[in-house]
Amino acid sequence: MKRYIGCDLGGTNLRAALVDIETGTVLFQQSVPTLAREGHDAVMQRMADLFLTMIKAAGLQTEDVGGIGIGVPGVLDLEKGETLFLPNLPGTWPHVPLRDVLYQATGLPVALLNDVRSITFGEWRFGAGQGVDTVAVLAIGTGIGGGLVINGQLHLGIGGTAGELGHMVIDFNGPRCGCGNYGCLEAFASGPAIAAMGMKAVAQGLTTKIGELCGYDLNAITPALIAEAALQGDEIAREIYQQVGFYLGVAASSLCASVSPRRIIVTGGVANAGRLLLDPMEKTMRERVHIMPVEQVEIVPGQLGDHAGVVGAACWAANRLG
């Protein structure tokens, strides 16, 4: 059995798993708070401790592990093994030699990858992307991350930056996006964008269950709460998801034209809304695309859930280091 460690470096938690990379099975997992405000040196020390503790707890030696893959939320220099810009972590981690520090601290070879590219690789190898050679992933949460597998290869682009599908522009006159561009998909269809549509409806005084469900506290409005309202038959909430699905369908139509994927995988917390979100997305894509055989493009939910990132990071490490 080939075992690798996959790690998800999150803003809140460090999650690590020991993965059988031949089957994609998570054999063992542990999680500790990231405590990112303590700075990158402290976080990297906690990561190394987590890996070594987990190996021990699993009854293994470091020699039993092939290497470590780390999914990192931001922009990397894959060649140098450095973090360049982690927007969600204090200090943003410019030029932190994450790969070499963890190699020195653990004695195990380390491969880095963007966190959503890790999810992409995991879903492609062992989840919703199995069996097809070209896949696009949209991971919808606080932001919209993405990834592309093209002709059976995770597409990295310059320094691993390809696949930021949430930052395709769908309206050049659109609102400012967190990335600095305007009218990106993320600016229309991320979790906060969806929540804001619910807040607006309640603030406007529209008749909607969203208000009751949040106890008229705008801070309590989330995509999940709006989805609940929609499932209870609330028209406003349903319209919000139809609008968001439309935005996603427009982006999917651009993906059909440019990448022509066999499958578009939608994952992340917001994707828990299921068909409420995917139905209007699919409808929009099928209505709008005529330039290629869109009937051969599937839109599917992710299959690996929270495991996608750690499984993908471990498989990526095996791919890179094996």
Which lies closer to a copy of itself via its Cβ, residue 127 or residue 146?
Answer: 146
Which lies closer to a copy of itself via its Cβ, residue 1 or residue 158?
Answer: 158
Please report how close the Cβ of residue 1 comes to a copy of itself at its closest, in angstroms: 30
Tell me how far apart the 2 most distant CA atoms of the chain are, in Å.
62
3 state SS for 121-156? HHHHHHCCCCCCCCEEEEEECCCEEEEEEECCEECC
DSSP state letters, 246-260: HHHHHHHHHHHHHT-
Instruction: Write out the residues near a copy of itself by the rule CB under 8 A.
Output: 75, 134, 146, 148, 150-151, 153, 155-159, 161-173, 179-184, 246-247, 250-251, 253-255, 257-262, 288-293, 296-297
What contacts 271, CB < 8 A, 6 or more positions away?
A: 139, 140, 277, 278, 301, 302
Residue 23: C-alpha distances to residues 1, 19, 312 (Å): 9, 8, 12
- Contact between 88 and 73 under an 8 Å Cβ cutoff? The reply is yes
Which lies closer to a copy of itself via its Cβ, residue 98 or residue 170?
Answer: 170
Which lies closer to a copy of itself via its Cβ, residue 170 or residue 214?
Answer: 170
Please report how close the Cβ of residue 19 comes to a copy of itself at its closest, in angstroms: 25
Which lies closer to a copy of itself via its Cβ, residue 82 or residue 234?
Answer: 82
Count of Cβ atoms closer than 10 Å to residue 189 Cβ: 27
Please report how close the Cβ of residue 42 comes to a copy of itself at its closest, in angstroms: 27
Please report how close the Cβ of residue 240 comes to a copy of itself at its closest, in angstroms: 17
Please report how close the Cβ of residue 233 comes to a copy of itself at its closest, in angstroms: 28
Which lies closer to a copy of itself via its Cβ, residue 157 or residue 175?
Answer: 157
Helix (H) or strand (E) holding 35: none
Joined together, the tokens standing for residue 29 give: 């997992």
Please report how close the Cβ of residue 188 comes to a copy of itself at its closest, in angstroms: 9
Q: 149 - beta bridge partners? A: 135, 154
